[in-house]
Structure 1
Amino acid sequence: MNKQMIVYDDQKKIFHLMNDNISYVFEIIEDTYLAHRHWGKRVESYSLSNKPTLKKRTFAAMNVPERPEFSLEYVPLEVSFPNQGDYREPSVQIRMSNGYTVSRFCYEKFEISDGAPEFIAFPHARDIPASGSQTLTIHLVDPVSSIRLLLFYTIFEDADVIIRSSKIINESNSGVTIEKLSSASVDRRYDGQMCTTFYGTHQKEYQLNRQSISHGKFSVGSSRGASGPQYPPYLSISKDATEFSGDVHAMTLIYSGNHLSNLERDQYNHLRLQIGLNPDTFTWQLGPGESFQSPQAVLSFSDKGYNGNSNAFHRFFNKHLIPQNWVKKPRPVLVNSWEMSYFNVSEKIMKDLIDSAKEMGFEAVVLDDGWFGERNSSKTSLGDWQVDANKFPNGIKPLIDYAKERKLQFGIWFEPEMISPNSDLIQSHPDWVMRTAEYEPLLGRSQYILDLTNAEVQTFIIDLLTRSIKDFGISYIKWDMNRHITDPASNVLNQAHAAEYSHRYMMGLYRILNTITTLFPEVLFENCSSGGGRLDPGMLYFMPQTWASDNTDGLDRQRIQYGASYLFPPYSLTGHVSSVPNHQTGRVIDFETRKHLASSTNMGYEMDIMQLSDHEKAVIKAHVEGYKEERDFLMTSEFYRLESPFDTNHCAWMFADQARNKLIVYLFRNTYDVSELSLLIKIPFIDLKANYVEVNSQKQYSGSELANCGIALENPIGDHLALRLDFEKC
């Protein structure tokens, strides 16, 4: 029996979800509607102390005629519908068989159950019995249309998050159309909060965007067929919060396709936060007896600033999202062939790379793009996943065996969702291309997209990967996706369901991923979409790590990794040390900066390690060996951002074990400023009552001194300084 974390007060009509740190409260009002009352720090009991008084407003619709002061226009709601007097953005919109979107949902009943719901069709919060969780299911019914709406709320003992989702069941005799179904909608009082989201592009992912909240609507999302680097699924609000203090409320979505986050400030200074499927690219036909389940939203709260909020996400992702067999399993330190040789790979090059990798202490070698078909450029051969006999006359299996003999793992790059116009596959299966019948599909990166709504295509990809893993004996797959959707259509999908295409594509992808990762749990899958183009919680459910960005530049990576850490544990992000001048920016940034940035992630290399001097090889070997020694610490430690590269010329962060016995601090100073005579960094989130020794200098400090006074550091002439401080408790 789990600890009771959900209680219902029948007299007050209040639901209260709580663990040791947070509470989430809402009320049944007028025996019909659900009013939001609290989401934040734990309250021991709740007696409606903050319930707003109501006042009659001219033009406000009266939902209860005998109570003219009551109107949904200014009630803080848990779920909202159009045409009920609430003119804010609805969270659910259903078009009935008569063509209208009028609905009147009423509260019917609730259920409290131990555990978390599991959804076979798509990623979700994993129910780990030992951790303790409970789920509240609310039933709302429209008695006229016979449509049932279920709202799910799950809370965990070991994570300061609420998991929300929605399900629509058609209990009528007529078909209906779902036009919008948010995973979560929460109304709060506006109190001068700021809004934080992310923007970005290829090679510039997870850029922080913080702004004031004006009257009206603000939204970010994706219609690209993927979560996208432009506006990934994240929305937070906070007032006067810093990285170190203040209340932060944040949302994300366990989904990898088209999504939308809404924030609305109305005329009464109420805020409505929503996250879910993007209604601009989504409708769903629901026949009699059919149901539709939304993806899950993750709602995170902390009163310890953005760092505290991020740590809540990190703990939840590690405990309840990442594949459990990989949570505490070290990932191999690898060298990737891409920036070394691009498409010009061969048996000799890879053998030499294996020998050099073994010499320098690497644990895996990855053969990136260019090994199959006639793949000498990006314009050909996607879909023709036969080994290029000109580059590998003996095939790949002997090469993999060669690596294994040297105690090295071997990985291969795939882009399974794509097809080239110049390929044998398109000649034999032109009907497998995502396209409309009337128009020629558009190219992106010289390639088309396979129609993953087609079960034959799904089976083809599953069989391809199954055969490759078994025949080659590979232990690692880098799964890439290098373009977005422009022609969302299929020749096997009924035209009546055309507007469902984008979501059906994602369901097809999830079926493939679920099948393959279940068949081969020991294979390490790395998520990639030209870097972080599909860096989202949905992909993290199947693949425990993501290539954060194709941009490995030592300056740009500071912002990318800093921003991505708002959601993702650093060890779930991969970062590689690459050569200079950097292939993306042309910048020449010192090795120490590049090394420390990569060491702050799931570290690897991506350069020609075979052409290095003996000294350079020795330096890399020392780095690799040192990283392997502290890998377990990095994998299990807590992460804290200390100085923001978005606000200053510096970037700093810290790894710390839970007992604060060991700390690693990285500090990056970019351009040199002659007026900055020395550097100063404060180190909060440590044991204030303990004493620490800085291992490199052997100087001792009290924890309270490091947190409140900081530590001064030399600021030598020259751009791009990178420092590492190691503290151990005395």
Structure 2
Amino acid sequence: MIRYDAAAKIFTLSTPHTSYQMKTDADGRLLHTWYGRRLPDSCPDMAEPRAPHTDPGCWPDLLPLEYPAPGTADNRCCAVCPEYADGTEAADLRYASHKILPGKYSLPGLPAFRQDANAESLCITLWDAAGLQVELWYAVYPDCDLITRAAVLTNTGSAPLILRRAASACLDFSPRPLELITTDGVWAGERTPHRAPLRPGEQTIGSVRGIPGHAHNPAAILCTPDTTETQGEAWGALLVYSGNFALTAESCEAGTRLLLGIHPYHFAWTLAPGQSFAVPEAAFVYSRQGLGEMSRQFHTAIRRHLLRRPWADPQTPRPVLINSWEACYFTFDEQRLLQLARAAKQADIDLFVLDDGWFQGRNDDGTSLGDWVADPAKLPDGLPGLCKKVNDIGLDFGLWVEPEAISPDSDLYRTHPDWALKIPHRETVAIRRQYTLDFSRPEVVDGIWAQLQAVLNSCPIRYLKWDMNRSLANVYSAALPAARQGEVYHRYVLGVYELQRRLTEAYPDLLLENCAGGGARYDCGMLYFSPQIWCSDNTDARARMSIQYGTGLFYPGCTMGAHFSTVPNHCTGHISAPQARMAMALFGTFGFELDLTAYTQKELDGLTPFIAWYRAHGALLRGGDLYRLVNPDAANLGAAWMTVSHDKVEAAVFAVGTALAGSGGHCPRLVLQGLNESVAYTVTDGENTETCSGFVLQTLGLPLPGDYGEAPSKIWYLKQV
């Protein structure tokens, strides 16, 4: 998988279908020479002349550098920027050594794609004579087209230095027309794809909120203009990080440079002599068969090599849950909750989740965050009493927490006001009437961990929803000197990772679902700890078509928290047919977000076939390959997709929305993908069953339902005969 040609000084990393190549030039600079279709084993030198031989002085500004730094006449955006004790901000990085190792590298304190005995790693060491060593780490997984990258930066000098920029990876492309796809949005409208040709100069998405945020996701695609779902070249990039990030595509005469890593805003990390800094991991996939194949490779890699066990295994069932939030909000007592649990049991739901409002004095969003003790006015027997009664009904019990937050009106704040992020001599900004705890401090992490342990040890809690409902502000830590305040943002993220590490190691069978005001922290760093993330606070089926489509460009459906909710939808006011709402929820983790006590017995009985269908086909939904058949348009009026098992034996097909309906008596058809053309499949929609060949299904397709004025929503299950 990793080969080194010592004579030509060429490194070639190969996956089943792709190759990534670098070489060192005569001056010891590490150049990026190729990332694309798999190269022959003879390892040809794919380096291209990028500068006129008659003008060597302009070469640094045109060379495809693997990890560029300032001060070397390369005036494009840089990957690393050290500030030495004399005020110099420059680094001339040259090759020092390399090693090829079995297995996957790891990064101290950071999530990353996991160890795999079949993987292989490469470490290339670069150095700057002034005192900076850069270890560039690469890993190749043989079962998917994934290549990961990271860097470890070490001060080898005799005086402290400050890192002003620390990117995870850089990719230089030769001049060619390319387009950039990012997934962007707002609260309740996260991860909507945006695609545009690259223009000259820098195009950057990022976040300085302390979390990735609703506006941009730490992922992007560069593709050729002709790229579609099924054809064309696409290079996908993901960042395994949950804090401030920057992703930049710079286009100039030398080509295109793609750079991703920690956002440089308010980042200044001091390294004493001998100290090192690990940069978050980046992951890359190349596809020459369009966006669909790129997505499928990312999905496979995330499922197999990022999610934690037992939840990484598609055969491990995920519980069908009901969350109390939209049914009760803050207004409930124990009897109200038990009524909801009984209705959920009648619908054959597995898990009851108590959302916000369960802890002392919490009747609105203005109090009590940080006081993780049950409110006796609502729960007279505490969490153990409620949990036992829910278990007696026949459901498992889950709970909502917001561990990173603290209310000014809370016992924790009255005891430890210094635990909140706050700037001295300035008024602390309250967002949603709450502050943020300073998770850059180990004693704060320890304090919250003690509270969470007490809660989780009090009764058998099977599921925990970890929420984070605001951006960071007043980013100043009382535990650090003024010269090191530029470390707080990153140290905060390390504190979150440390707490989630303790949580998942102490309770390995706990199903953890991350959330951040909906989908504001949907990234691979969080997925390392929690196998599912609440996709959006917007559960409207029509809106979810776009949200889940954009999310699915990078992340598999088994990671998307998705619930069937009431109509009119609490977020949009839209009314969607039950089957449309079911289709969107079934594509994700599948749960319910509504007041089932208002349902009649007949209506409750109408839910059970979908729950049974999910249980029967859950492994397919969690582990199959996604094929997007009809992408949602700007108005979110229609979409269709399917999931196919790796062996092509079975598939599930979903079609939702009015845009799929015919007109003038014409009955449109949905052409399928990913099947075996040479075999026959039984096709059932729950009412009717027919047999069709894979060839017919992939040429003529399935007839779509929908009379005039009716929204066609349909779910099919296919199985090889």
**TM category, shorter:** over 0.9
1:537-572: per-residue Cα shift (whole Å, max 9, x none)? Answer: 000001111110110111101111111011111011
- Residue number in structure 1 paired with 2:8: 12
Residue 683 (str. 1) matches residue 683 (str. 2): no
Q: Is the 8 A contact 1:366 1:411 kept in 2?
A: yes
2:248 is paired with a residue whose SS is: strand
Residue 619 (str. 1) matches residue 610 (str. 2): no
- Residue number in structure 2 paired with 1:189: 174
Aligned length: 714
Residue 642 (str. 1) matches residue 633 (str. 2): no
1:708 is paired with a residue whose SS is: coil
Q: 1:162 aligns with which of 130, 144, 147?
A: 147
User: How far is the alpha carbon of 1:301 from its aligned partner?
Assistant: 1.2
Residue 171 (str. 1) matches residue 156 (str. 2): yes
Residue 95 (str. 1) matches residue 83 (str. 2): yes
Residue 23 (str. 1) matches residue 19 (str. 2): yes
User: How far is the alpha carbon of 1:327 from its aligned partner?
Assistant: 1.1
Residue identity in the other structure for 1:459: D
Cα RMSD for the two superposed structures: 1.6
- Residue number in structure 2 paired with 1:65: none
Separation in 1 of the partners of 2:308 and 2:459? 23
- Residue number in structure 1 paired with 2:188: 203
Counting aligned pairs with the same residue, the percent is 31
User: How far is the alpha carbon of 1:604 from its aligned partner?
Assistant: 0.5
Q: Is the 8 A contact 2:84 2:162 kept in 1?
A: yes
1:208 is paired with a residue whose SS is: strand
User: How far is the alpha carbon of 1:282 from its aligned partner?
Assistant: 1.3
Residue identity in the other structure for 1:688: E
User: How far is the alpha carbon of 1:585 from its aligned partner?
Assistant: 0.7
Q: Is the 8 A contact 1:682 1:708 kept in 2?
A: yes
- Residue number in structure 1 paired with 2:38: 42
Q: 2:60 aligns with which of 59, 67, 72?
A: 72
User: How far is the alpha carbon of 1:61 from its aligned partner?
Assistant: 6.6
Separation in 2 of the partners of 1:424 and 1:498? 27
Q: 2:244 aligns with which of 258, 261, 271?
A: 258
- Residue number in structure 1 paired with 2:577: 590
1:78-134: per-residue Cα shift (whole Å, max 9, x none)? Answer: 1111121211111111111110112222111100100111224110111022xx111
Q: Is the 8 A contact 2:206 2:244 kept in 1?
A: yes
Q: Is the 8 A contact 2:705 2:714 kept in 1?
A: no
Separation in 2 of the partners of 1:55 and 1:121? 41
Separation in 2 of the partners of 1:279 and 1:204? 27
Query: 241-250 vs 707-716, which deviates more?
Result: 707-716
1:666-693: per-residue Cα shift (whole Å, max 9, x none)? Answer: 0112356745832221112111222223
Q: Is the 8 A contact 2:542 2:657 kept in 1?
A: no
User: How far is the alpha carbon of 1:631 from its aligned partner?
Assistant: 1.4
- Residue number in structure 2 paired with 1:699: 690
Alignment of 1:357-396 (within 5 A): 357-396=344-383
Q: Is the 8 A contact 1:340 1:608 kept in 2?
A: yes
Residue 419 (str. 1) matches residue 406 (str. 2): yes
- Residue number in structure 2 paired with 1:241: 227
Q: Is the 8 A contact 1:469 1:475 kept in 2?
A: no
Separation in 1 of the partners of 2:185 and 2:56? 42
- Residue number in structure 1 paired with 2:709: 718
- Residue number in structure 1 paired with 2:309: 324
Query: 360-369 vs 235-244, which deviates more?
Result: 235-244
Query: 663-672 vs 331-340, which deviates more?
Result: 663-672
Separation in 1 of the partners of 2:453 and 2:71? 51
Separation in 2 of the partners of 1:169 and 1:659? 46
Q: Is the 8 A contact 1:677 1:715 kept in 2?
A: no
- Residue number in structure 1 paired with 2:589: 602
1:242-300: per-residue Cα shift (whole Å, max 9, x none)? Answer: 111222101111100000101011124x0101110001231211111111110000011
User: How far is the alpha carbon of 1:45 from its aligned partner?
Assistant: 3.0
Separation in 1 of the partners of 2:587 and 2:134? 44
Query: 370-379 vs 37-46, which deviates more?
Result: 37-46
1:624 is paired with a residue whose SS is: helix
Q: Is the 8 A contact 1:190 1:271 kept in 2?
A: yes
User: How far is the alpha carbon of 1:471 from its aligned partner?
Assistant: 1.0
Separation in 2 of the partners of 1:713 and 1:235? 33
Separation in 2 of the partners of 1:102 and 1:350? 61
Residue identity in the other structure for 1:658: H
Q: Is the 8 A contact 1:61 1:85 kept in 2?
A: no
Residue identity in the other structure for 1:684: Q
Q: 1:312 to 1:54 in 2, by over 3 A?
A: closer
Residue 406 (str. 1) matches residue 393 (str. 2): yes
Q: Is the 8 A contact 2:113 2:306 kept in 1?
A: yes
Q: Is the 8 A contact 1:215 1:266 kept in 2?
A: yes
Name the TM-score, length of structure 2 as normaliser. 0.96
Q: Is the 8 A contact 1:199 1:208 kept in 2?
A: yes
Q: Is the 8 A contact 1:34 1:77 kept in 2?
A: yes
Residue identity in the other structure for 1:278: H
Uncovered stretches (5+) of structure 1, i.e. residues with no partner: 63-69
1:486-538: per-residue Cα shift (whole Å, max 9, x none)? Answer: 21111111211101110011011111111111111111111011111101000
Q: 1:639 to 1:458 in 2, by over 3 A?
A: same
Name the TM-score, length of structure 1 as normaliser. 0.95
Separation in 2 of the partners of 1:249 and 1:698? 40
Residue identity in the other structure for 1:246: G
Q: 1:466 to 1:716 in 2, by over 3 A?
A: same
Query: 327-336 vs 700-709, which deviates more?
Result: 700-709
Residue identity in the other structure for 2:420: V
Separation in 2 of the partners of 1:714 and 1:370? 43
- Residue number in structure 2 paired with 1:66: none
- Residue number in structure 2 paired with 1:508: 495
- Residue number in structure 2 paired with 1:134: 120
User: How far is the alpha carbon of 1:193 from its aligned partner?
Assistant: 1.8
Alignment of 1:389-468 (within 5 A): 389-468=376-455
Q: 1:85 aligns with which of 59, 66, 73?
A: 73
Separation in 1 of the partners of 2:696 and 2:608? 36
1:197-253: per-residue Cα shift (whole Å, max 9, x none)? Answer: 011111101100100111111010110000112111011111111111222101111
User: How far is the alpha carbon of 1:719 from its aligned partner?
Assistant: 4.7
Residue identity in the other structure for 1:88: R
- Residue number in structure 1 paired with 2:528: 541
Separation in 1 of the partners of 2:665 and 2:372? 56
1:16-62: per-residue Cα shift (whole Å, max 9, x none)? Answer: 1113222111111114111111112211235546432354389x772
2:149 is paired with a residue whose SS is: strand
